[in-house]
Amino acid sequence: MSGVVDADRTAASYVAGHGLLDGRTAVVTAAAGTGIGGATARRFLEEGARVVVGDVHARRTKETVARLTEEFGAGRVHGTACDVTDEAQVKALFDLAERHHGGLDIVVNNAGLGGTALLADMTDDQWDTVLGTTLTGTFRCTRAALRRLRAAGRGGIVVNNASVLGWRAQPGQAHYAAAKAGVMALTRCAALEAAPDGVRVNAVAPSIALHPHLAKVTSGGLLDELTAREAFGRAAEPWEVANVIVFLACGYSSYMTGETVSVSSRHP
């Protein structure tokens, strides 16, 4: 056997919605694009949820809301520009869910920021920028979610987007790996604190989910190298990660909290 995997044979078929989130309201950050956040917003809508999207790009957020509204109908999608490093903008995003839907049930903290720099050459600004968005931004949105879910008193779900780099070492990724490992630890601690209120907090840890933005900011050589390490010989589609987020957001995962689920075909 050659050990070479035919990526076409491992390709998955898109899964139709089954009403797993009927009647729920979800807030999804960094959702105005073709990556995991955008795929999650779409999958949630296909599963019957109402969705409030936030993204740092105001124009793209507006375009995303318009496109999804045209496809899924008026009143089911709202959005606003949201930089998760800004407390006022985070509040405005959650206020939008309250105003249009009377509250929220699910929060997906997808916003994150990467970069490549060897630790010895990394500047304080590079470190602070990645940690500020990826870890502190997740903390800020998780805090907002737990406060509102606790006040509503009907339970709820938080799903954080971590990364397999929270477990694995990769040169040039010390800031991103530290941030994602922090997201995993934050998830575990938040889960214990939120459990008495009936709120579950979990995370996904994707390896590589290929989308146009990732291709723009990552060299082709590195993408090829990372993809070759995957057991299936291909990157995940963003919607394949979104499917796992749907699982963590619905009743099928009712006894799971504080967990980080690897979405990868590669062993550590």
Which amino acid appears at position 121 of this protein? D
Q: Is 176 a catalytic residue?
A: yes
Task: Pick the catalytic residue from 14, 176, 252, 255.
Answer: 176
CA distance readout (Å), 251 to 20, 21, 246: 8, 9, 10
CA atoms within 13 A on the CB side of 84: 31
Q: Catalytic site residues? A: 176
